[in-house]
Chain A
Amino acid sequence: MESLTKTILPWLLWLWLVGVILGAFLYAPPAVGFRGSSRILFFHVPMAWVSFVAFLAAGVESLRYLYGGRAPRHDRSAAAAVELGLAFGVLATVTGALWAKVMWGAYWNWDPRQTSILVALLFYAAYLALRAALEDRETRARLSAAYAVLGLVVAPFLYFVMPRMAEFTLHPEPVINRTGKVDMDGKMVLVLMSSLAGFTALYFWLHNLQCRIAELAERRASLEGDRP
């Protein structure tokens, strides 16, 4: 029974995202005041969201590593999360820049949200640079975990506090705006939420694959190390 769900789930995910893509182009109307290009937000927003989720995951796994027994799998999990977070974050930035070009004429405007996500990306590239500079497995795991937990403190600040408090931003109001009401067409909300769910599921699948690859690689490396 369990292997049946294991085989079905990926296909369900495929179907789900096919539905999201179709919904984004056929079902949801263009946003009021924007043009057809607004459809990119069904992909841009979830990718930025996933990159934030990934960074939180990296922080949590790093805490688990540091205070939960220094198990290598938590270290692998954290590193995988950062890699994925960086990938999704880059995609989010690029899609955002493309949209910015269409909407406001310039790829980059130093909009607070754009700046924040750029700093977040720098943070996580730095994490990977730190790992590259440490050879000993335990030192690498310990120090990069510490940096990732520092990131846990910085990331929410960057993603939520700063952009929202800036006086002027080009970014459209967040979906749940200040008054607490949802300010977007119902169909758009549906597609957007579905896309968020789909991309999050995709992230977890990718993360799982990444962790397994890392573990197998480590296993092989230790086997090869034993050979004379």
Chain B
Amino acid sequence: MWPAASTWAAEATAVFVKEWRCELRTRYALSTLALFAFTTLVVVSVSLGPLGVARSQGSAVLPVLLWVILLFSVAAGLPRTFVQEEESQTATALRLSATPSALFCGKLAYGLTVIAALEALITPVYLAMMSLPVRSPGLLAVALAAAGYGLAAGSTLVAAIIAQARSKGTLFAVLAFPVLLPLLLLAVEITRDAVGGDPAGVALTQLILYDACVTTAGLMLFPAVWNP
């Protein structure tokens, strides 16, 4: 199925490539994610746009909604990476052929690229539809990158955990949200700073620290989660 990999990096890349190949074949996750994100976006715009939200409140409320949209889209689309393996029973083959850490990083890289694509798609549209001027676009980009990474890392690990359980859909949300919530709170704070033109406060440091912690935990725990 995938080439015999002699180095770790080759393995991880192989996993990454295979994920995208499968995904492009069916385009399931991408379409779910995009559709979900756009639908939520429309709902938000309709309720806040025409009915109007005061300018002053807008810059406080709108950053939150952007991240809510991203969070729910991720929850809707990302767990499939592991759930599908278990369901189509390709998981056993993976367990035999891939090193756990390489597998984790391959899947994580896939998740990252999906989230990056989502963010690139949604954010400009959101900003345009809400007429939200951003004074520090650089900071916004940093927030999107850092929090996006955190979302990917956390989601990948949790997806691996729930893939072996029943009622996977709701269970993912239940398990992932407490882990991702601090991430979201920090991202919102930084986004608010970006909109208002304020310099990034401690929130950015905390966000990066959180990312580092979740990554370490993921790399350490994934072998135990993946192999019986």
Contacts and interface: CB of A to CB of B under 8 A. Distances in A.
Interface of A: 66, 115, 119-120, 122-123, 125-126, 129-130, 133-134, 138-139, 142-143, 145-147, 149-150, 152-154, 157-158, 161-162, 165, 167
12 contacts: A66-B221, A119-B181, A122-B178, A133-B165, A134-B164, A139-B228, A142-B228, A143-B164, A146-B224, A150-B179, A154-B178, A161-B209
Given A119-B181, A130-B165, A133-B166, A153 B213 contact: yes
B221 A149 contact: yes
B133 to A, nearest CB: 24
Contacts of A165: 202-203, 206
Contacts of B165: 130, 133-134, 143
A134 B175 CA distance: 14
Closest 3 CB pairs of A and B: A123-B178, A122-B178, A133-B165
Given A119-B182, A138-B228, A153 B214 contact: yes
B169 to A, nearest CB: 11
A162 B182 contact: yes
A119 B185 CA distance: 11
> Chain B interface: which size bin?
20 to 34
A115 B186 CA distance: 13
Nearest to A149: B221
A147 B221 CA distance: 9
B39 to A, nearest CB: 26
Nearest to A129: B174
Interface in B168-212: 171, 174-175, 177-179, 181-182, 185, 201-203, 206, 209-210
B182 A145 contact: no
Contacts of A120: 178
Given A66-B224, A152-B217, A154-B182, 4 more contacts: A122-B177, A125-B174, A129-B175, A139-B164
Interface of B: 157-158, 161-162, 164-167, 171, 174-175, 177-179, 181-182, 185, 201-203, 206, 209-210, 213-214, 216-217, 220-221, 224-225, 228
Given A126-B174, A133-B171, A134-B165, A150 B221 contact: yes
Contact of A143 (B174, B178, B217, B225): B225
A147 B161 contact: yes
B217 to A, nearest CB: 5
Contacts of A150: 157, 179, 214, 217, 221
A41 B171 CA distance: 35
B206 A154 contact: no
A55 to B, nearest CB: 12
Contacts of A143: 161, 164-165, 225
A130 B225 CA distance: 13
B34 to A, nearest CB: 28
Given A129-B175, A130-B165, A146 B221 contact: yes
Nearest to B175: A126
Nearest to B177: A122
B5 to A, nearest CB: 25
Contacts of A138: 228
A181 to B, nearest CB: 23
A158 B161 CA distance: 22
B81 to A, nearest CB: 17
Contacts of A147: 158, 161, 175
A130 B213 CA distance: 22
Nearest to A148: B221
B101 to A, nearest CB: 15
B211 to A, nearest CB: 11
A43 to B, nearest CB: 25
A126 B175 CA distance: 5
A151 to B, nearest CB: 8
B179 A158 contact: no
Contact of B161 (A123, A125, A146): A146
B27 to A, nearest CB: 30
A160 to B, nearest CB: 12
Contacts of B161: 130, 143, 146-147
Contacts of B182: 119, 154, 157-158, 162
Given A123-B179, A133-B165, A150-B179, A142 B213 contact: no
